Chains A and B, each alone.
Chain A
Amino acid sequence: MILRRINIRMSGLGGQGAVTAAHVMAMAASKDGKYAISNPFFGAEKRMAPAESYCRIGLRKIYDRGELVFPDVIQVFHPQVITMGKSYTMPFYSGIKEGGLVIINTDMPLLTDEDVARLKDLNVAVFNIPGTNIALDVAGTELATNMTMIGSVAGITKCVTMNGLDLALQERFGKKFVASGGTATLDEAIKKKFAKKEMLLKKNLETVQKAYEIGAEWAEKNHVEIMVGEAAAA
């Protein structure tokens, strides 16, 4: 499937970096010369509460903003989004477009038979990736889980390049960044995990790269093709 625009909904929990992930994806797309918009949606900021962010990437100027009600891709950053219903809607995949893609951070299957059947009806591909485990292996911290979510969606859809992601990460973590109190605290926490800022950037990028490769391999093996391109009918 070739789309003029790819709409990605990222469902996570407060503190996991879903907002940062959407911003990094959009920044990367913009570095690649594509049009992109990203925005978060959350209630009063608190850890482990549902938090969503949205990233739209395309070849034409994008006006649409706000909650993505009809996404092409849904990324689940935390199993509790599904198992405890920490989602803005039930089920978490409501509104997904036909032929879409669901990426779940989990090391075990989480979907019920009914979920599997409904997603199959819609011809939606489901990819489970043990993102938190990869983050622990590669970066040595689960705070890099969001990097695996960035890498996996990029690897499957190629909507952003690794080069664009590298530049975006440098922009996000390489310079002074003013954010809300909660985000600033988490930024400090992850910086303390690494002796030097260069190390943080390097480990983040390696985590993205690893998930990118896993995603790309899965997409090729399973013939999953969701891409951004002009050839498409809308």
Chain B
Amino acid sequence: MATQSVIGQKNNKGQAFTDPRHMMFEAPRTPSFFTGSEVIKEAVRRASCDMMVAYPITPQSEAAALCGELFAEGYIGDYFRGESEFAVMSQCAGAAFGGARVFTTTAGPGTMRAMENFPMWAGARLPIQMIVTCRGINSPLSIQPDTLEISYLMQTGMLVWHAETAQDFYDWILLGYMVSEEPDVHLPLALCCDGFFVTHTKDMVDLTPVDMCLPPYDPYRSPVPCMDMECPPVRMMRDPFVMKSNYISYATHASWQQEVWAAVERSRKHTIGWMNGLIDTENTDADIIVVASGTAVSQSREAIDILADEGISVGLVKVKTLRPWPGEEIKEATKNAKHIIVPEFNVTGWLGREVKATVPNNERVHSGPHVCGGMTMPPEIIASEIKTILGIKVETLSGRGS
């Protein structure tokens, strides 16, 4: 094991391995007008990734292609295209088992196709980072934003974060490795955003210096031994529990699942430190509070502005991490609210359900408005929903299609 710190040493692109706290919180930032896809590239450029596996699917294809450029420039150790998303995620597992810092991107049907791998990643404690640029998953086909796939990821044992803006995305890609590689966490991270609304939108983003990068991944910080298939360190691989039907095998599996979810919970303290809490709040003294994640937060901010102009005060809870679930934080932030509004970009309202399962007196929770299948949520719709709840008469919004 290295006895010297790598901090200050340079990689072969001349970037200095930098203390992440200095890099993220103190180093000067350069404002840049970029699309979300370009922002992914710039974050990965500074993330000291050993390996990326790519597969094209809208709306993440551009980001995957841009990361290919990074590989060509020499910023990523290795990069190739898998045969399908299932293959990609399996290949990512292989690279992570071998001790590499791994990055990949996917979306919608790709996420669903690869799903078998995600609980496997979590169970094997592989700190892979997967960008999910959410899109519709159901038939008829859609390439447009829809966050339904997140609800599946939330049960896998992965960390699941939901970025609102390209700035979140940039910072969280880098901070994500810091959290997920902690020995007491050591779990994969699904870093989600709403496709197109973030990936294809040009927005101002403050970038860290290009000559600084994260310290490399240290596989010896893994809580489980590196896997060598020729010489398995435990009997798991050659003589797996599935071959046995006895109490010990069940108990081992059960306790390991509990341990994975305990590790998700243990990520809280690191996430709070790096991201200043699992939620952000504004004006939580208001009688009405919006609880949202992703682009729904942005749309809610605009709706809150519209209502403020009409003299209606509305607070905001931005949910940054879905796993771990910030239950206590949400309970506290909404304790005085008479109405809790949960707008979402999916048909089932999974966030609304989580909130209802969290807060006392949950008849206060209004799940909606919901849009899905690629529809936009104009702030006017959220504002009108809130006014309706308050018993204020609203004019019919003559929108598109009228």
| Contact across chains for B376 and A67 when beta carbons are under 8 A apart | yes
Taking Cβ atoms with an 8 Å cutoff, the residues of A that contact B are: 23, 26-27, 30, 35-41, 43-44, 63-70, 88-90, 94-95, 178-180, 234
| Contact across chains for A89 and B66 when beta carbons are under 8 A apart | no
| A30 vs B58: C-alpha distance when bound (angstroms) | 27
Interface locus among B20-28, B154-162, B276-284, B295-303: B295-303
Q: A95-B398, A179-B62 are in contact. Are A66 and B202 (CB under 8 A)?
A: no
Interface locus among B126-134, B193-201, B227-235, B354-362: B193-201
| A68 vs B375: C-alpha distance when bound (angstroms) | 11
Nearest CB in chain A to that of B32: its residue: A30
Q: Which residues of A contact B201 (CB under 8 A)?
A: 37-39, 65
| Contact across chains for B399 and A64 when beta carbons are under 8 A apart | no
| A89 vs B380: C-alpha distance when bound (angstroms) | 18
| A64 vs B304: C-alpha distance when bound (angstroms) | 12
* Interface membership of B168, Cβ < 8 A: no
| A161 vs B399: C-alpha distance when bound (angstroms) | 31
* Interface membership of B13, Cβ < 8 A: no
B170 to chain A, nearest CB (A): 16
Taking Cβ atoms with an 8 Å cutoff, the residues of B that contact A are: 33, 38, 58, 61-62, 65-66, 69, 143-145, 165, 196-198, 200-204, 295, 297-299, 301-302, 306, 309, 375-380, 398-402
B289 to chain A, nearest CB (A): 17
| Contact across chains for B203 and A66 when beta carbons are under 8 A apart | no
Nearest CB in chain B to that of A38: its residue: B202
Nearest CB in chain A to that of B68: its residue: A178
Q: Which residues of B contact A70 (CB under 8 A)?
A: 378, 380, 399
| Contact across chains for B197 and A65 when beta carbons are under 8 A apart | yes
Given A36, A44, A68, A94, which contacts B401 in the complex, CB threshold below 8 Å? Answer: A94
| Contact across chains for B376 and A69 when beta carbons are under 8 A apart | yes
| A44 vs B298: C-alpha distance when bound (angstroms) | 26
| A167 vs B266: C-alpha distance when bound (angstroms) | 48
Nearest CB in chain A to that of B199: its residue: A39
Q: Which residues of B contact A95 (CB under 8 A)?
A: 398-400, 402
Q: A38-B201, A69-B378, A179-B62 are in contact. Are A64 and B144 (CB under 8 A)?
A: no
| Contact across chains for A66 and B400 when beta carbons are under 8 A apart | no
A39 to chain B, nearest CB (A): 4
A92 to chain B, nearest CB (A): 10
Given A23, A64, A180, which contacts B299 in the complex, CB threshold below 8 Å? Answer: A64
| Contact across chains for B376 and A37 when beta carbons are under 8 A apart | no
Nearest CB in chain A to that of B203: its residue: A37
Q: Which residues of B contact A88 (CB under 8 A)?
A: 400
B398 to chain A, nearest CB (A): 7
| Contact across chains for B143 and A69 when beta carbons are under 8 A apart | no
| Contact across chains for A64 and B202 when beta carbons are under 8 A apart | no
Q: Which residues of B contact A40 (CB under 8 A)?
A: 196, 200
| Contact across chains for B380 and A30 when beta carbons are under 8 A apart | no
A117 to chain B, nearest CB (A): 16
Q: A37-B202, A69-B376, A95-B400 are in contact. Are A180 and B61 (CB under 8 A)?
A: yes
| Contact across chains for B379 and A180 when beta carbons are under 8 A apart | no
Top 6 A-B pairs ranked by shortest CB distance? A66-B376, A67-B376, A63-B298, A39-B201, A89-B400, A69-B378
Nearest CB in chain B to that of A45: its residue: B58
Q: Which residues of A contact B58 (CB under 8 A)?
A: 44
Question: Can you give 12 contacting A-B residue pairs, CB < 8 Å?
Answer: A27-B33, A39-B200, A39-B202, A40-B196, A64-B378, A66-B376, A67-B376, A69-B376, A69-B378, A69-B400, A94-B402, A234-B306
| A69 vs B62: C-alpha distance when bound (angstroms) | 26
Q: Which residues of B contact A44 (CB under 8 A)?
A: 58, 143
| A65 vs B309: C-alpha distance when bound (angstroms) | 20
| A189 vs B297: C-alpha distance when bound (angstroms) | 40
| Contact across chains for B377 and A234 when beta carbons are under 8 A apart | no
A24 to chain B, nearest CB (A): 10
Nearest CB in chain A to that of B202: its residue: A38
| A139 vs B204: C-alpha distance when bound (angstroms) | 31
